[in-house]
Amino acid sequence: MKKNFYKLLSFAVLATIVISCGGETNPLIKEAKDGIKAKNYDAALSSLDQAIVQDSANADAYYYKGKVYSEIALNNSIIADRKDSYSKMRENLVMANELYTSQGAKSLESVESQLLIDQIWGQEHNLGVKYATGDSTTSATGNPYDVAEDHLENAIIINPDSLLSYEVLAEVYRLNSNLDAATDIYEQVIEKKVKADAYDYDRLGGLYLQVEEYEAANTILKKGIEFYPDSVFLTQKLADSYMNLGENEESIKVIESLIAREPNNPQYHLVLGTQVYIMASEITDDISAKYDEIFNLEREQRNLSGAAKTANEEKLASLRNSIEEQSSRSEKLIDRAVEELLKVVEIDPNDANAYNTLGIIYQNKAAALFDKRNATADNDEAAKIDTQAKDNLREAMKYYEKATELRPNNQDYWRSLFQVYTSLGMNEKAEAAMEKAGM
């Protein structure tokens, strides 16, 4: 992160502000400058307010008033409490700059009215960057991100036109898990830019997904895709937003539209296969819960009689019918997911993620069959289902082994392989996988 921040964001502010000798013909301005030197800011402000009452177009009075507020802010050790002073500093310096421009003034103060804004903004911005990146020159603090936020919040008050500070602040909010604030700032970044980057839409869409504001995510991601129709990341997140909104078919359509334009892009097939499998997983999870319910109802059945027994039998029959219907839908989706993932490894034989996902699919198919076996009273039928489950475990093993071959240091892959080896009674291989999984 440090490298990226400094590469993109850090800069040096070269302007050095010196209190000008100009304006001393006005005794109120001289009093104010003396007050600034003596750090008697209340007296300085009083003199400057009188000067403005005498002449509302006195640019020097506004300049020195901005100067006073800059010193009040910088002398405040509580960084978060500088905001009001910085706001007043900017207000007065902007007014001074406008008056100098309209009056055609060429004094030192007329130059410094803008330079002072740039200098103080640079100090706050750069300190924010340093704390965010863990710069060794900063003071020790409990949470550097909190301090970075304070400095950067000051920076955007001093210079609200700086997209740079907004972008860094949004990222710091995100890193500090201040997600609501991050989404607000990213919204402002997109509004302020003539044309926001795909990265901006991706970040904001991702944040909305994190805070479970799926409608907002969907809206911003669709807007991003209007500008960047070929962005895989935006498309994937848009599909995620549709999924979370329960609009599964829309999710699939989004990805299929990309595949139609670029059928040999393995990432599109990977996203589609993953999304389709998520849909199937939701169904299989529900089926698993129903098998648990069947198990409990069958235990109760032994102690029931009469109408209660009949009602229990009807409920069991209803659950089995529902499972049969759901299983049919789930199998079709799983077949589609496998088809897409096999397309991925056909195009890119070194895609370990696709092999791992195939392993997950077959391992979960086996788990669903084991649930079915456990809910089957007929021993012969249960034995057949057990065989089918183990066949699926062997398929899972094949794909997990390929994934570990491609990424031998991925402990998650080895952990999954350990589970499969254990279920198949392959104890020696299970021990080796367990060691590589760091278990």
Q: What is the pLDDT of residues 325-342, one digit of tens each?
A: 888 888 999 999 999 999
* pLDDT beyond 80 at 25: no
Reported as a single tens digit per residue, the pLDDT across 39-54 is: 999 999 999 999 999 9
Averaged pLDDT for residues 266-284? 88
All residues at 6 or more sequence positions from 57 whose CB lies less than 8 Å from its CB, including other chains: 99, 103
**226 in a structural domain:** no
Res 3: pLDDT? 46
**227 in a structural domain:** no
**173 in a structural domain:** no
* Per-residue buried b or exposed e for 72-85, using 16+ beta carbons within 10 Å of the residue's own CB: bbeeeeebeebbeb
- Which pLDDT band holds residue 103 (cuts at 50, 70, 90)? very high
**211 in a structural domain:** no
- Which pLDDT band holds residue 23 (cuts at 50, 70, 90)? very low
Write down the residue that tokens 């710091």 correspond to.
172
What own/partner pairs with CB < 8 Å and gap ≥ 24 does 203-208 have? 203/170, 203/174, 205/234, 205/237, 205/238, 205/241, 206/237, 207/174, 207/179, 207/182, 207/183, 208/183, 208/241
Averaged pLDDT for residues 285-293? 85
Counting Cβ atoms within 10 Å, is residue 402 exposed (0-12), middle (13-18) or buried (19+)?
buried
Q: How many CB atoms lie within 10 A of CB 256?
A: 11
Give the residue with greater pLDDT, 94 vs 18: 94
**69 in a structural domain:** yes
* pLDDT beyond 90 at 87: yes
Of 77, 73, 95, the C-alpha closest to 86 is: 73
426 and 279 part of one domain = yes
Domain of 59 in residue numbering reads as 2-161
69: phi then psi, degrees, rounded to nearest 5: -65, -30
Of 21, 28, 60, the C-alpha closest to 44 is: 28
Distance CA 36, CA 284 (A): 73
156 and 268 part of one domain = no
Domain boundary among 143, 161, 179: 161
All residues at 6 or more sequence positions from 12 whose CB lies less than 8 Å from its CB, including other chains: 122
Reported as a single tens digit per residue, the pLDDT across 109-148 is: 888 888 999 999 999 999 999 999 988 788 888 899 999 9
154 and 271 part of one domain = no
10 and 151 part of one domain = yes
222 and 240 Cβ atoms separated by less than 8 Å: no
**171 in a structural domain:** no
Reported as a single tens digit per residue, the pLDDT across 428-438 is: 999 999 999 99
Q: Which of 238-247, 290-299, 381-390 has the lowest mean pLDDT?
A: 290-299
All residues at 6 or more sequence positions from 25 whose CB lies less than 8 Å from its CB, including other chains: none
Question: Which three-class secondary structure string do you get for 362-394?
Answer: HHHHHHHHHHHHHCCCCHHHHHHHHHHHHHHHH
Q: How many CB atoms lie within 10 A of CB 228?
A: 18
* pLDDT beyond 70 at 205: yes
**191 in a structural domain:** no
- Which pLDDT band holds residue 18 (cuts at 50, 70, 90)? very low
> For residue 378, what is the domain's CATH number?
1.25.40.10
Reported as a single tens digit per residue, the pLDDT across 392-421 is: 999 999 999 999 999 999 999 999 999 999
- Which pLDDT band holds residue 248 (cuts at 50, 70, 90)? confident
> For residue 24, what is the domain's CATH number?
1.25.40
Domain boundary among 130, 161, 192: 161
Domain boundary among 142, 161, 180: 161
Res 197: pLDDT? 93
Res 16: pLDDT? 34
**172 in a structural domain:** no
Give the residue with greater pLDDT, 230 vs 175: 175
- Number of independent structural domains in the chain: 2
Distance CA 235, CA 269 (A): 12
Averaged pLDDT for residues 375-399? 92
